[in-house]
Structure 1
Amino acid sequence: MDVLKLKKPPRKLLVIKPSSLGDIVHSLPFLNALRDSFPKAEIHWIIAKGLEGLLEGHPMINKLWIINKDEWKRIKGAGTTIKELRSLFKSLKAERYDIVIDLQGLLRSGILAKAAGAPVRVGFKGAREGSRIFYTHTVKGGKDIHAVDRYLEIAKFLGCDISDIKFPFPLSFTSFAAGRLGRLAEESEHARGGQLSPLSFQLPDKYAVIVPGARWETKRWHPERFGELASMLSVKSIVVGGESDADIAGVVVRNSDGNAVSAAGKTTLKELIEIIRNAMFVVTNDSGPMHIAAALNVPVFAIFGPTNPLRTGPYGKPHVIIRKALECSPCYKRKCKNLQCMEMIEVREVADAIRQN
């Protein structure tokens, strides 16, 4: 691979990676390589509203641009969206970036890259929705490698050393050191906006985390089975997820024989990270919290069906993939009438994998 020839180290860089949760976690080693290679440069990052808790206050990032991309899709708010985009484009251009890196690879992110006005705009050759036309340089990422390694291909093109792969999460919050989950601070309390209720329990000294949700319905193992699994574990389980996962988390709890409690919809993203950070292990579908656990070196037992763990599984060791080697898997289908890849995974199989590791 050719390496980008720079006349001088960049003064200011912009990384475009607004979503999703797991993908942003996968891009953290890229951030680490970028910061190590350009210690004096300003690094800015564009992230989607709702996920900013993952990178807020990060010591490697000088400025976080938070975009409300979901609102941009609504036709009724087109007028407001146009005004917001014009303002954003003007502000990005005023920063006078030396390099813009688009890790998202979609039309919207390509337009943002172009709008920033940097002389060097880097993205993937395989970027979708025609976004590659906005780049000055493209890098072959590959489809059969893990997302972490794919992002690092761009870091390599920029001349970064990628031999030391690290996931630089912000430092742990001291309020969790005593094993309790409370309200973090006035800043975190304000972020709730009155929408989330505090947990009504204290975290035990030893516990497992269960993640029964996933963005695709086809990636979800039955919550009843997660509950049965929780009833078989020697430690209490904390069930996590977003507000949309509250109902299935309740199913897990009801089937756990009193050995699980739900935190789904009751935590900020920062609090979720801390719950996972201090867990003994995590049992999960292919989901964003799974990638957080892997990045924090918490042992993961991941249940896979329609997706490929070689591309998007928990990165590194020591993690265990539980899946069925069926001819139709991975199929990457979001809907399936015969979801045998998930149906065939039994509770005892997952419990045995946990006991053996």
Structure 2
Amino acid sequence: MKQILIVAPAWVGDAVMAQPLYARLAARHPGVAIDVLAPAWTRPLHARMPQIRDAIDAPFAHGELALQQRWQLARQLARRGYDQAIVLPNSLKSALVPLFAGIPCRTGWLGEARYGLLNDRRRLDKAALPRMVERFAALAEPKGMPPVHPIPDPRLAVDAAASAAVLATLGLDIDRPILALCPGAEYGPAKRWPARHAAALARGYLARGWQVWLFGSSKDAGICGEIVAAAPGVVDLAGRTSLAQAIDLMALAAAAVCNDSGLMHVAAALGLPLAAVYGSSSPVFTPPLSASARVVSLNVECSPCFERTCPLGHMKCLNDLGPERVQAALDALTGQR
């Protein structure tokens, strides 16, 4: 049985976009065992990818070299007898554990002078592979071969019993349709749709008889509080759920609205009708990968700037993007007027 270790990305969205790689590896190598080495907070994502056998927690802080820790972990992994490692991050540090573990085939894109660490080195043609999902999927193929198209959209598998358990824990119900609203964005305010627009959209859905659930971390408490104050009746779950619980609850939604964020990619991978709001960033490299998703953007002349805060001070890209545009996108997806 072939065994492959994946050094997986640390970001939620990137971790979701690696799932088609795992599906392709399973198709190419029937019976393959795929393990992922990734930060512990991504474990709920990998637990919902049926191709993954085991998730191994990487105990390293962001940017930390931690050579001794990497060596100790590598010696433990060496006992598993992996045939191949596929390194998805482009950093030098991410390629150290497979080298220390003596994994015979170490695959990845060249980056940060990794010539001595990877022995199945690939040179990236960014024009040929413009999207992250394509760059990940290409590493499933032999060197020199392009990824097999069409690349399937990422998918997360949610167990109905797990969703029911979270509902009971939080005292929620699904008697009425649910709009999942994800107003946060870890990168910065230039990616966050204004609270007043989100609240106006929420009020419209509440008037239709829907429920509106806010998803996010404790870092999103500020913007979620603004939305709740302006749209009484909204259920604020930000900071009240783990990532695992958030995924299982989002799977119950009838539609979702998200900024360009990790939860946007989760919503897409759950197949929800999704309006993805873009401001300072671009959907070219990491779009929501789902036939049920629509990008909503004004495409103003100064975007995408990729800045955390608006360098011009007006944030026209999001301030001028009113709730009626998002509503129209959702109505088109859900067949409502």
Pairwise same-fold verdict (TM > 0.5): yes
Segments of structure 1 that go 5 or more residues without pairing to the other structure are: 1-9, 184-198
- 1:45-60 to structure 2, matched below 5 A, reads 45-56=36-47, 58-60=49-51
Q: Which amino acid aligns with 2:126?
A: G
How high is the sequence identity, in percent, across the aligned residues? 25
Which residue does the alignment assign to 1:244? Answer: 219
Pair 1:226-2:198 in alignment: yes
Q: CA deviation at 1:163?
A: 4.6
- Specify which of 90, 98, 107 is matched with residue 105 of structure 1: 90
Partner residue, 2:186: 215
- The amino acid across from 1:92 in the alignment is L
Matched, 1:329 2:268: no
Equivalent residues in 2 for 1:1-357 (5 A)?
11-56=2-47, 58-70=49-61, 73=64, 81=66, 83-125=68-110, 127=111, 129-131=112-114, 133-139=116-122, 140=124, 142=126, 145-157=130-142, 163=150, 165=152, 167-177=154-164, 181-183=167-169, 199-217=170-188, 218-233=190-205, 234=208, 235-258=210-233, 260-338=234-312, 339-357=315-333
TM-score scaled to structure 1, two decimals? Answer: 0.82
Quick one: structure 1 residues 34 and 294, their matched pair in 2 at CA, closer, same or farther if it must change by over 3 Å? Answer: same
Aligned residues: 323
CA–CA separation in structure 1 for the residues paired with 2:149 and 2:140 = 7
Quick one: structure 1 residues 152 and 266, their matched pair in 2 at CA, closer, same or farther if it must change by over 3 Å?
Answer: same
RMSD of the TM alignment (CA)? 2.5
* 2:26 counterpart SS class: helix
TM-score (norm: length of structure 2): 0.86
SS at match of 1:69: coil
Call closer, same or farther: CA 1:113–1:332 in 2, change over 3 Å. farther
The Cα of 1:30 is off from its aligned counterpart by 0.7
* C-alpha contact (below 8 Å) 1:109/1:131 kept by paired residues: no
| Helix, strand or coil at the partner of 1:70 | coil
> Does structure 2 retain, via aligned residues, the 8 Å contact 1:212–1:249?
yes
Letter of the 2:15 counterpart: I
Distance 1:132 1:214 in 2: 35
**Mapped partners of 2:202, 2:156: distance in 1:** 28
**How much has 1:177 moved relative to structure 2?**
5.0
Moved over 6 A (4+): none
Per-residue deviation, residues 242-291 of structure 1 (Å, max 9, x unmatched)? 12112321221111132x11111111222211222121111110011111
Q: C-alpha separation between the residues in 2 aligned to 1:246 and 1:88? A: 36
How many angstroms apart in 2 are the aligned matches of 1:271 and 1:88? 29
